[in-house]
Structure 1
């Protein structure tokens, strides 16, 4: 039996963030959340006044294994342990590098999980 998207899941982690305005340390605390059953994932840098970014959950999941895109968001695997999430908006460009272990846990908590084989 598949479980449905779980609204209201919110987790924090550290990410490598690069923007045109960056200088110095590019490791930032970020909040990643799935707020509704529609499957939109919100990503925001903690402690900064920026509005953050949003992308479909499916694009984040697909981008962990092969390049995926939707609107201003692009996601692709970067080696075995990280995934890159890139946003191009009117406010500028941002590139985040996130740990795959963290993303896998987040996606398993927020999405449909197929039933184990043989059940």
Structure 2
């Protein structure tokens, strides 16, 4: 089983101005952080010209394919049978993208083959995580 899963996807950036446009993004999953998924967006879509990365619960993504999920910074909801909307909330506003639901399902299937649901604790490196959090304390 691969310890890292990257999957390129096309997302449709939903803008308030007419004419949403499609941009590339990459979904990431790492077995060492089995509860999280990440999505990276290219610098050209950010206001400051930097690549944008978001991390959120794998379970949130899975739930959001079936029904609206999330109440925090990241929210996921189906948009018909073929698209899923990801919402990213920050102080300055909300960024929304549409992703093909089949792409998200394929990505999630790969992550669950790497680390099955309910087995995440077996792959977590708690000692390293604590060391990183505590630093030199």
State the TM-score, normalized to the length of structure 1: 0.77
For 1:96, the equivalent position in structure 2 comes to 97
CA distance in 2, matches of 1:19, 1:92: 12
How far 1:18 sits from its partner (Å)?
2.6
1:30 aligns with 2:25: yes
Q: Aligned in 2, Cα 1:70/1:32: closer, same or farther, shift over 3 Å?
A: farther
CA distance in 2, matches of 1:45, 1:28: 8
Specify the SS of the correspondent of 1:37.
coil
Q: Which structure has more RCO (C-alpha within 8 Å, separation ≥ 6)?
A: 1
User: When the two structures are aligned, how many residues end up with a matched partner?
Assistant: 109
> Following superposition, which runs of at least 4 residues in structure 1 exceed 3 angstroms of deviation?
22-25
Structure 2, unmatched stretches of 5+, are 45-49, 118-137
Larger strand share, 1 or 2: 1
Alpha-carbon displacement from aligned partner over 1:52-92 (angstroms, at most 9, x marks no partner): 22211100010000111052011111100111110101354
Specify the SS of the correspondent of 1:53.
strand
For 2:120, the equivalent position in structure 1 comes to none
Structure 1, unmatched stretches of 5+, are 114-119
Larger helix share, 1 or 2: 2
1:54 aligns with 2:55: yes
How far 1:50 sits from its partner (Å)?
3.2
How far 1:26 sits from its partner (Å)?
1.8
The alignment yields a C-alpha RMSD, in angstroms, of 2.5
